[in-house]
Amino acid sequence: MSTRQFLFSGFGGQGILFAGKFIAYKGLIENKEVSWLPSYGPEMRGGTASCGVIISDEPVGSPIVNNPDVLVAMNLPSLDRFESKVAPGGIIFLDSSLIERKVERTDVTVFALPATQMASDNGFPTLANMILVGKILKELGEYNDESLKAALAKVISAKHADMMEVNRKAIDLGANS
C-alpha cells in the first residue's frame, strides 16, 4: 500500500469521527503518514457527519478525500451521497441494519454488516462504529493486535479507561464476522 484514503460517514452521534480518529492513530502508531479531516457544520445533532482519513507511506498531500478507496457508510444518506465517489476497485463497508438498499456499483467490493443490530444485541449499542472498524481491519489485512491496542489507548481518554475492553470486544466482533 502506498496511499489509502478512507471516508467515514453517517449521522452525528454514531461515532464517525471517533472511528476515523482510531484508524488515523493506528496508522500513526505503525509509522505511517496520516491525516484526518472532519466535515464541520452548524447542526449539533441529527446532521450528517463525515471525516476523511488518509494513511500513506509518503507525506500526505491534500488531506481532502474526494474519491475514497474505502467508504464506510453508516446510514442511507451517506451511501446515496458517496457511492458514486468511491474509487474504482474500492471497498464499501456499510451498516445493513440502517441501509436496506444494495450498492449499485459493480466495480467495488461491498461488505455489509448489520453493525447497529449486532451492537445492541451484544450490549454495547453505541459501538456499531467499532464493529465496522473491526471488519475493515480484518478485510484489509490490517488487524494487528499490538497497534490496535495502542491506538485504542490513544483515542480513549484515561478518564474513560473502562471503555477500552468493550471497544476491543466490538472490534473483535466485527473482525470475526
Q: DSSP 3-state assignment of 50?
A: strand
Report yes or no: 13 and 68 within 8 Å, Cβ to Cβ: no
Q: Does 149 help bind other proteins (rule: CB under 8 A)? A: no
Place of cell 464499501: 92
Report yes or no: 109 and 91 within 8 Å, Cβ to Cβ: yes
Q: Shortest distance, CB of residue 5 to other proteins, whole angstroms?
A: 12
- Residue from 1, 6, 9, 25 binding other proteins (CB under 8 A): 25
Euclidean distance between CA atoms 136 and 146, whole angstroms: 16
Compute the half-sphere exposure of residue 47: CA atoms within 13 Å on the CB side of its CA. Answer: 9
Q: With CB under 8 A as the contact rule, which of the stretches 36-44, 70-78, 100-108, 123-131 interacts with other proteins? A: 36-44
- Residue from 21, 49, 83, 99 binding other proteins (CB under 8 A): 21
**What does the block give as the cell for 171?**
472490534
Q: Shortest distance, CB of residue 110 to other proteins, whole angstroms?
A: 26
Show contacts with other proteins in window 62-91 (CB under 8 A).
62-64, 66
Question: Contact residues for other proteins (CB under 8 A)?
Answer: 21, 24-25, 28-29, 31, 33-38, 40-46, 60-64, 66, 154
